[in-house]
Amino acid sequence: MAKVTWDGSTLLSPVPVVLVGCGSAEHPNTMTAAWTGVVCSDPPMAYVSIRKERYSYGLIRESGLFSLNLVNRSLVRAADFCGVRSGRQLDKLAHLGLHASAGRLGCPLIDESPLSLECRVTQVLELGSHDLFLAEIEAVHAEESLLDSSGRLCLEKAELVAYSHGQYVPLGRSLGGFGFSVRKKPVRKKPSSSKKS
């Protein structure tokens, strides 16, 4: 397959898009971030990379806390808005009719998000354009309607959105579950040849 080669750039795709909750319960703020992800299972850890000039940057530095709020179809317009307007100029949550509540650590969580990860910063790494906030995920808050009768989280019902090459894109139908490539197919019973009357 013929390929073209460019100098290094941030073309990993798709990436998540989240609303980062920060500030205090009395004065919450949120900003959109795509430079975010998980980095460790045990302890559960995540990161978000933020430019120093963002209003949210100082708020997270001050509290040492942030939340990562997943974005679904209903939140996609708000997520774009929160990525192009600053909390320095306006109360984005009030403007959008969104609500924030304090989580277990006291960090603002976006009520309208289907799932929020509450994070405590453990390290800040100065990388260049962005500083990376490395954090432990200390609590997860999920919308009750996403749980089935046995308490299993059915995140596929949340209509989540990803970010790919400058576009917000809905997640599509599942193409297989974890390990499906090596899982043995259930043996199908042969249909019986003798007809019963």
Q: How many residues bind ligand FMN (CB under 6 A)?
A: 22
Q: Return the residue of 14, 24, 55, 169 that touches ligand FMN, per CB under 6 A.
A: 55
The answer to the question of residue 35 lying near ligand FMN (CB under 6 A) is: yes
* Nearest partner of 119 among 71, 70, 79, 68, judged by Cα: 68
Q: Which is nearer to ligand FMN, 155 or 168 (CB)?
A: 168
| Assigned token pair, 93 | 């949550």
Determine the length of the chain. Answer: 197
For residue 43, cis peptide bond before it (omega within 30 degrees of 0): yes
User: Rule CB under 6 A: which of 150-189 touch ligand FMN?
Assistant: 163
Rounded to whole angstroms, how far apart are CA atoms 98 and 30? 10
The answer to the question of residue 87 lying near ligand FMN (CB under 6 A) is: yes
The answer to the question of residue 83 lying near ligand FMN (CB under 6 A) is: yes
Q: Return the residue of 19, 28, 34, 98 that touches ligand FMN, per CB under 6 A.
A: 34
| Residue 111 CB coordination number (10 Å) | 14
Residue, CB closest to ligand FMN: 83
Mention every residue, 6+ apart, whose C-beta is less than 8 A from residue 28.
21, 22, 93, 100, 108
Binding region for ligand FMN (CB under 6 A) out of 47-55, 100-108, 115-123, 172-180: 47-55
Site residues, ligand FMN (CB under 6 A): 17, 29, 31-35, 49-51, 54-56, 80, 83-88, 130, 163
